Amino acid sequence: MVADFGINREIRDAVRDHPIAIDLFSGVGGLSLGLEAAGFHVAVDVEIEDISGRYAQHNFPLSKVLSGETLGDVKNIDGSALRRHANVRTRGEIALVAGGPPCQGFSIAGKKTGVDPLNDLVDDFARIVLDARPLAFLMENVPGITTQGSKKLAACVRELRKEYDVADPEVLCAWHFGVPQTRRRVFIVGFRKDLGVTPSLPQPTHEAPNQNIALFDVSPTAWEAISDIPHVDRYVRLISGDRVPYEIEPLHEYQRMLRSDPIGAFSGVIPRSWDPSLCTNLRRTRHGDALLKTFEGLRFGQADPVSGIRRLHPHELATTIRAGTTKARGSWSAPRPLHPFQNRVLTTRECARIQSFPDWFLFHPIKWHGNRMVGNAVPPLLARAVGRHILQILGLRAQPNFNGATLIRDDSLVQSDIEAAQNSDYHKRSISQKVTSWSNRRTA
């Protein structure tokens, strides 16, 4: 039974069968996947980085992905363009415009500069929302936007409040919605004033492991998220390749959900074409002897002070998966967590598991690209929880009826990357070399 929040019936009926969402600054599509799982049709993704846009198009065959420095620049987008690309009927409605403007200038882990030109993209988000006039909007960002970016955010919210009832910014914890990670994000949600509803965000449904709170489900631990992933150091082919058969059956409900055709939280997602016998994005990292020795001495939860690499505790939540930077910003690669039991950093697929991406979701085979795609994404399970709450307020119910359909993905979009990765010498750049560089800078 869908709760009745008093929304205008004519408006609700206009989008009942196809609540359309637009994802700005979409990256590879973590927010898009969560919104699809909630019941939205994500008609348009907008992403300025061409590589992430190609993988979004591969993973979302039914979406129109506008990518690259021209099509994917939100400064070139307005409401009429979004309606045209979304194929919205003349009298139809866009249900939701969502997105996370780039956060480097606001991030606690970043430079924290108020003059970063990317910070101005929150203004473009507000401009597009006011022009497109969706029923609702959703903005997500790092918690730092409420401190480092407080003036910029306040100005953005003031503009949006001209036509939208806007809830105060709220920090949501990923683990409160079934994501096995200590990730926090700020969400701001607003609903068009003519709807006459009160904006809000979802209440937690999960608690961290070992909390013993009877009212909540328990989020998976780091080990429960990844324990069925193949042991990559056993495979020479994973030095240049990135996929091998699964070695064991899933051991945990969370693993079954991410390996099976859409079930559980992802039951609203149309199945994609993929080979469920193969685990992808497993390219190995070859560490030097000195770093391996350091790893051997790290206990559960302990971090190496030089590289910042921390060994995951198998029975606790994973630490936040971070992204690093683009080439334009120095190609800085964020340190990935260390495997709980093996002396290596996590693979892209293991990071994706911790972000709650299903295994059919494909990332770039080269680790630097793939890991950035994962780290930049909104965890899909977190996005799903927020999306479902918005649909509930709008009085819309997802009614998936796939009739056994499977979406065939266009492999030509990614095949050249796979071939290039296999033929490149990228794998020769080990983290031990990066750690040496960090150490040299410290002692210079």
* Residue type (1 letter), 433: Q
Phi–psi pair at 170, nearest 5 degrees: -135, 135
Residue from 103, 156, 173, 279 carrying the catalytic annotation: 103
Strands 184-192 and 136-141: antiparallel
Q: Which residues have C-beta within 8 Å of that of residue 189, sequence separation ≥ 6?
A: 136, 137, 138, 139, 166, 167, 199, 200, 201, 386, 390
- pLDDT tens digit sequence for 172-201: 999 999 999 999 999 999 999 999 999 999
Residue 329 has pLDDT above 80, yes or no: no
User: In this structure, what token pair is assigned to residue 353?
Assistant: 């598991």
Residue with tokens 């994706």: 352
Question: Structural domains in the chain?
Answer: 9-208+379-394 (3.40.50.150), 222-375+406-436 (3.90.120.10)
What CA–CA distances, in Å, run from 185 to 51, 144, 284, 319, 390?
Answer: 24, 9, 30, 14, 17
- Residue 80 CB burial class (10 angstroms; 0-12, 13-18, ≥19): exposed
The HSE-up count of residue 42 (CA atoms within 13 Å, CB side) is 31
Known active-site residue 103: yes
Q: pLDDT digits over 357-366, tens only?
A: 999 999 999 9
* pLDDT exceeds 60 at position 434: no
pLDDT tens-digit map of 95-112: 999 999 985 554 444 444
Predicted pLDDT at 397: 76
Report the percentage of the chain scoring pLDDT > 90. 69
Cα–Cα distance for residue pair 124/152, rounded to 1 Å = 12
Angle at CA of residue 279, ends 277 and 282, nearest 5°: 160
Strands of 142-269 (E only): list them: 164-166, 170-173, 184-192, 206-207, 217-218, 244-245
The pLDDT of residue 391 is above 90? yes
Of 350, 383, 408, nearest in space to 59 by CA: 408
Write the pLDDT tens digit of every residue in 271-322.
999 999 999 999 999 999 999 999 999 999 999 999 899 999 999 999 999 8
The pTM score is: 0.89
pLDDT at 11: 55
